[in-house]
Structure 1
Amino acid sequence: MRIEFLPRLLRIHYQYENVKTIEYDVDGYLTVYNRDDKKVAEFKTVSSIAYNAQYGTPITEDGQFVFIGTWERGLFCYSIKDQQLVWKQGPGRVRQILLMDSCLIVEMAQRGIYKRDVKTGELLQVLKMPSIDRFSQLSESELLAGPLRGKYIHYHLPSLQPK
């Protein structure tokens, strides 16, 4: 994923088969382009360009769903094909989202790490960690997060079991 910051626009490039680029404008409109640079969707979201510029916005590799985290209203899943909200979970201060095969690993400010089902948003697991200053995906199967009781923990993904 590569992110470009343009005047009034955030552009995120992907290497997926069905999606090449998504763009956010300052009014919260999301535009999706396929590999041929053809516009396949454009719709209004709860997006905030300033917030989503921190880490990009996860999109499923099949190009079906896009996930948007907000600081005040929580986590949102949109269908790219239908251009509609699929589910929302909140309120909550979403800081970062990692997309795994069938789940999302979400860093929530002052709460911890939440594991959610991609298709339903259902909460699958919670790791309470009120103060996170490190949340880094080390590889496809490893996450470093913390501190928890003064220690940084190395987790296996997507199970969130300590290594």
Structure 2
Amino acid sequence: MKIHYQQENVRTIEYDVDGYLTGIDPQGETVAKFKTVASVAYNAQYGTPITKDGQFVFIGTWERGLFCYSIKDQRLIWKQGPGRVRHIILVDSSLIVEMAGRGIYKRDATKGELLQVLKMPSIDRFTQLNESELLAGPLRGKYIHYHLPTLQPK
């Protein structure tokens, strides 16, 4: 599975069925290869964001939660539960994470600390419209248009 980016240090990441992630720079050279919790079927469906500088990658899992790895150092930086991670959006220094059956969690990207929770037991729409807007829901029968990264309704 390959995911392509526009970052200057990492242009592509690939991961295999065993969870090994390979980072490839714009010249096609391998800059990292290490074991992660990635799953080809799962992470291909919900995405794997990396920071703009190409230094960190964020991987969500259904069973174990959210993980941050250093691409440069090829090591786990932090991990946070609970599981049931579906979508991850990286906005500035925040991760906006859809948690199935729980809602939307906002975490600090550098430490993984929980900053905000919007409880939403059933989400069937979680779409980043542009750099500063998210559409999610339903919440009490309505879809909500949120400002990113504050998660304030528009």
Report 1:64-143 matches (<5 A). Answer: 64-143=55-134
CA distance in 1, matches of 2:147, 2:48: 22
Paired amino acid for 1:154? H
CA distance in 1, matches of 2:31, 2:44: 22
SS where residue 104 of structure 2 aligns? strand
Residue 31 of structure 2 corresponds to 40
The Cα shift of 1:92 comes to 1.6
SS where residue 10 of structure 2 aligns? coil
Paired amino acid for 2:37? V
Paired amino acid for 2:32? A
Q: 4+ residue runs of structure 1 moved beyond 3 angstroms?
A: none
Report 1:56-71 matches (<5 A). Answer: 56-71=47-62
The Cα shift of 1:13 comes to 1.0
Structure 2 unaligned segments of length 5 or more: list them: none
Residue 15 of structure 1 corresponds to 6
SS where residue 19 of structure 1 aligns? coil
CA distance in 2, matches of 1:56, 1:93: 14
The Cα shift of 1:127 comes to 0.3
The Cα shift of 1:16 comes to 1.1
Q: Root-mean-square deviation (CA), in Å?
A: 0.6
CA distance in 2, matches of 1:51, 1:22: 15
Identify the range of structure 1 (66-75 vs 49-58) with the bigger mean alpha-carbon deviation.
49-58
The Cα shift of 1:15 comes to 1.2
CA distance in 2, matches of 1:154, 1:106: 16
TM-score by length of 2: 0.98
TM-score by length of 1: 0.93
* Partner of residue 27 from structure 1, selected from 12, 18, 22: 18
Q: For this pair of structures, how many residues does the alignment match? A: 154
Identity %: 81
Provide, for residues 12-48 of structure 1, a one-character-per-residue CA deviation record: whole Å limited to 9, x for no partner.
1111111111000111000001111110000000111
Residue 54 of structure 1 corresponds to 45
CA distance in 1, matches of 2:18, 2:88: 22
The Cα shift of 1:91 comes to 2.6
